[in-house]
Amino acid sequence: MMNSSRVRRPELVCPAGNPAMLKAAVEHGADAVYLGFKDATNARNFNGLNFDERSLAQAIELAHAHGCRVFLALNTYPQAEGWAHWTAAVDRAAALGVDALILADLGLLAHARERHPELRIHLSVQGSATNHEALAFYHERYGIERAVLPRVLSLEQVAQVVRQSPVAVEVFGFGGLCVMVEGRCALSAYATGQSPNCHGACSPAKFVRWDETPQGLEARLNGFLIDRYAPEEPAGYPTLCKGRFAVGGHTYYAIEEPTSLNTLELLPRLIEIGVAAIKIEGRQRSAAYVAQVTRVWREAIDAALAAPQDFSPHPQWLAALDRVSEGASHTLGAYSRPWK
Amino acid sequence: MNPLSFELVLAPIPYFWPRGRVLSFYEAIAEAPVDAVVLGETVCARRAELRLPDWIALGRDLAAAGKRVVLAGYALIESESHLKWVRRLVEQDEFAVEANEMGTVRLLAAAGRRDWIAGASLNVYNPHALAQLHEAGARRWLPPPELSRAALAHLLEGFTALEQGTIETELPVWGPLALAHSARCFTARHYRLQKDACEFRCLAHPAGLPLATREGADFLVLNGVQVLSARPWSLIDRLDEATALAQALRLVPAPEGTLERIAALDRARRLGEMPAPEPESCNGFWYGESGFAYRAPSSSPLAAR
């Protein structure tokens, strides 16, 4: 049974792809927001998204006025040529007073620890750390205070990591779902030359082509046919791993269905095992998405903390989340592992 | 062309082969002109036709045949039982260890080992990251698949400039690219089986399960929890460029043709006889392009634009 005196209140960490999304998150009860600079230094490097120095300063001011913390994602892997650009971004973020940096690269971790010893560091999901020994490595060497776990562990495995981890653990609760270990996927790079690790983008829009053909609507990624839709079929964005492919004479979602993650029903258990923070995916989405998702998750976390034994997701919460989610269906992802 | 100087390394078998096939494969390898052999299961912890003591015994046989032997660890650790296995791997000190995830690195560093190899999935993209692993005890490293020739050259120059000592670079020159790793099993999914009751269907696919687009273009290979490229990566027609940057060249075992490629690479270093280009392969990452792309050796960067 949950011992209420030892319950840890998980922080709700919401995406802020732009100032309007940040405002929506802050106003609807986010404990923290995460965001990035307008360039390849973060894993959501999309046109029209993210912050420059000026808008980041304003964002920090607004968030702090509401008691909301600001985490800056600098979670791509710099190459030798871009090194000075990435370290300058770390230094700029530190000077602007972000509450934490979210990093993945070993070199950047060392740089941040050495130059900004007072700065709080979180290990990005892009760091691919899935066990407490890995977390201890980053903690001992770079003083990370929190780690975001890849979306590949089951709930019991997450609990095992939390029990032995030297640092706080943040998990994804809602939004788009990577089926691969984050930081370990070069599928997009193989097809397009651009990857989450190096360019902060997966299956980038500039490589996407839609063609109306006699066989149906075709979605291509740099020439590769990712999917083909019958006239009445809803067409989704051709993220490489969510296409239909032919394997052994069958055409199906060979890697992953185009569903998104929703762990609302696991909330009491996530609280019980002691996760420090629940992260909402979707910096590439809209202010309306952030408002809706933040509001629902705020209510749900508060309800689960107040009366964990009575908690069940309200139908209106689920309906609200369904209206904004990508794809028609939700999954508990790796946490429940129906495929296991 | 002049003879080339490099150490020839055989990567772990990425596929799930029956025990007998593994043992007879390495019997042949014992006689082949490779210098080093990396043994072990790196992809899926459910694959246990050989257990750690079996790999160690095999390592002894290969060492007796004059090979340098390395034991590789899993790329993904999901549970405490996987970590136990890694601890045993690190505790044996007969052979060097290849670390493929950061928990393994921590255990190797904590044990004070200075002889380990930083695998390609550790995501070393810049000299400063390499310096961190070097400091933790790595004596050799492999670049991630996406790193281009230019970026690798730049990285190595940068590492030298840091004046932190030396580290050996091992570069894959032939074999499918390991493009992605998951906790979910794509082979079990194909057979509509659950991962924990997968019936070890990977055993029936010694080269993985080919995945094609809906118009029949070869694209990827499903190998249990791993996704590989359908086209093999090849720098076999770029050995001068590869050896300019790396001291060791690695090739990945395949069901067919491994011994022939080993022989070809060996002729290249002894006799300067260059292997024939393989237009069905890919080398796009070497040029900072899409990974699936292939540039023929005669094409200069300008000509290909």
Q: Are A245 and B212 in contact (CB under 8 A)?
A: yes
Whether B107 has its CB under 8 Å from any CB of chain A: the answer is yes
Compute the count of residue pairs across chains A and B with CB atoms less than 8 Å apart. Answer: 222
Domains of chain A: 4-177+259-335 (3.20.20.70), 197-252 (no CATH)
Regions in chain B scoring below 50 on pLDDT: 300-305
The span from the CA of A296 to the CA of A318, in Å, is 8
Count, residues in chain A:
340
User: Could you read off the pLDDT of A134-187 as tens digits, one per residue?
Assistant: 999 999 999 999 999 998 999 999 999 999 999 999 999 999 888 999 999 999
Helix (H) or strand (E) segment spanning residue B9: strand B7-10
Q: How far apart are the first and last CA of chain B?
A: 27
Distance of alpha carbon A131 from alpha carbon B102, whole angstroms = 9
Enter the tokens of residue A97.
């007073």
Q: Is this complex's ipTM strictly greater than 0.85? A: yes
Chain B contact for A186 (CB, 8 A cutoff): yes
Token reading at B145: 């698949």
Q: What mean pLDDT is predicted for residues A114-136? A: 97
- A92, A98, A99, A101 alpha-carbon torsion, rounded to 10°: -50
Give the distance from CA B205 to its chain's centroid. Answer: 19
Q: What rounded mean pLDDT belongs to chain A?
A: 93
SS (H, E, C) B199-227: CCHHHHCCCCEEEECCCCCEEEEEECCEE
CB atoms closer than 10 angstroms to residue B35: 15
- Whether B123 sits inside 8 A of A197 (CB atoms) is yes
CA triple B97-B100-B106, angle to 5 deg: 75
| Residue B109 DSSP class | H
pLDDT at residue A328, rounded to an integer: 56
Query: To the nearest whole percent, how much of chain B has pLDDT over 70?
Result: 97
One-letter amino acid for residue A18 of the chain: N
Tell me the residue ranges of DSSP E strands in B45-167: 68-72, 96-99, 116-118, 138-141
Residue A208's Cβ-count burial label (10 Å; 0-12, 13-18, 19+) is: middle
pLDDT at B305: 33
pLDDT of residue A329: 67
3-state helix, strand, coil in chain B (%, to 5): 35, 20, 45
pLDDT tens for each residue of B104-149: 999 999 999 999 999 999 999 999 999 999 999 999 999 999 999 9
One-letter amino acid at A289 equals Y
Q: What does the block give as tokens for A247? A: 């394997």
Test A83 with B131 for CB contact under 8 angstroms.
no
Q: Which residue of B has its CA nearest to A243?
A: B213
pLDDT at B116: 98
pLDDT at A25: 98
Residue A47 near residue A29, CB atoms below 8 Å: no
Label residue A2 by pLDDT band (50, 70, 90): very low
Q: Is residue A137 within 8 Å of A293, Cβ to Cβ?
A: no
Give the ranges where chain A is alpha helix by DSSP (H).
19-27, 53-65, 83-96, 106-115, 132-142, 155-164, 187-192, 196-199, 267-273, 287-306, 315-324
- Provide the pLDDT for residue A1: 41
For β-strands B226-234 and B218-223, DSSP reports them as antiparallel
Neighbouring-strand partners of residue A217: A212, A229
| Cα gap A158→A155, rounded to integer Å | 5
Contacts of B171 (CB under 8 A, 6+ apart): B142, B143, B152, B235, B242, B245, B246, B248, B249, B250
Secondary structure of A92-133 as H, E, C letters: HHHHHCCCEEEECCHHHHHHHHHHCCCCCEEECHHHCCCCHH
Domains of chain B plus CATH, in order, are 7-175+233-278 (3.20.20.70)
Pull the structure tokens for residue A3: 């011992």
Chain A interface includes B84 (CB < 8 A):
no
Question: Is it the case that residue A44 has pLDDT exceeding 90?
Answer: no
Are B231 and B281 a contacting pair, CB within 8 Å?
yes
Out of B123, B190, B194, the one facing A248 most closely (by C-beta) is B190
Residue A14 tokens, joined:
């919401």
Taking a C-beta distance cutoff of 8 angstroms, is the pair B38, B46 a contact?
Answer: no
pLDDT at A116 over 60: yes
Cα–Cα distance list, B175 to A58, A119, A280, B4, B171 (Å): 50, 43, 38, 20, 11
Task: Please state, in angstroms and rounded to a whole number, the distance separating the CA atoms of residues B83 and B104.
Answer: 8
CA A113, CA A90: separation in Å to the nearest integer?
10
Residues of B in contact with A337 (CB under 8 A): 195
Contact across the interface for B121 and A251, Cβ inside 8 Å:
no
Chain A: closest CA distance from residue B119 (Å)? 12
Burial-class residue B65 by CB neighbours within 10 Å (0-12, 13-18, 19+).
middle
Closest CB to A191 among B151, B189, B290: B290
- In chain A, which residues have their Cβ closer than 8 Å to the Cβ of B126? 77-80, 83, 105, 107
pTM reported for the whole predicted model: 0.95
Which chain A residues in 225-244 lie under 8 Å from chain B, judged by CB atoms?
225-228, 241, 244
Asked if the Cβ–Cβ distance from B158 to A141 is below 8 Å, we say no
Rounded to a whole number of angstroms, the distance from the CA of B211 to the nearest CA of chain A is 5
| Model confidence pLDDT, tens digit, residues A255-295 | 998 888 999 999 999 999 999 999 999 999 999 999 999 99
Categorize the per-residue pLDDT at A339 as very low, low, confident or very high, splitting at 50, 70 and 90.
low
Closest listed residue to residue A274, CA positions, set A163, A132, A113: A163
